[in-house]
Amino acid sequence: MVVVFIPPAWRDLTAGRAEVRLAAMSVRQVIEGLEALYPGIAARALADDSLKPGLAVSINGTISRRGLRGAVPEGAEVHFLPALGGG
């Protein structure tokens, strides 16, 4: 199992849940698992077959550069980090 931290802007889809535990071995599997539990997550995370521009994924505190292929080890903490706008 991994712990996925849900960004505040996505919590309307998770009934306010800030974190979810699920089985996954890659970022793709994390998104698929979230989509199965909370339909609509994939639309917020994906553009075609990759992460949306401006969305980063942190795995155990390190930003993954592998996109959906990023490996997620057992017990990992996964954060989706949307780009911040404004000035």
Closest CA to 34 of 25, 83, 24, 60: 24
CA distance 25 to 14: 21
pTM of the predicted structure, to 2 decimals: 0.92
The pLDDT confidence band at residue 50, using thresholds 50, 70 and 90, is very high
Domain range annotation of the chain: 2-82
Answer for the pair 44, 52: CB distance below 8 angstroms, yes or no.
Answer: yes
Tell me which CATH code domain 2-82 carries: 3.10.20.30
- What pLDDT does residue 84 have? 67
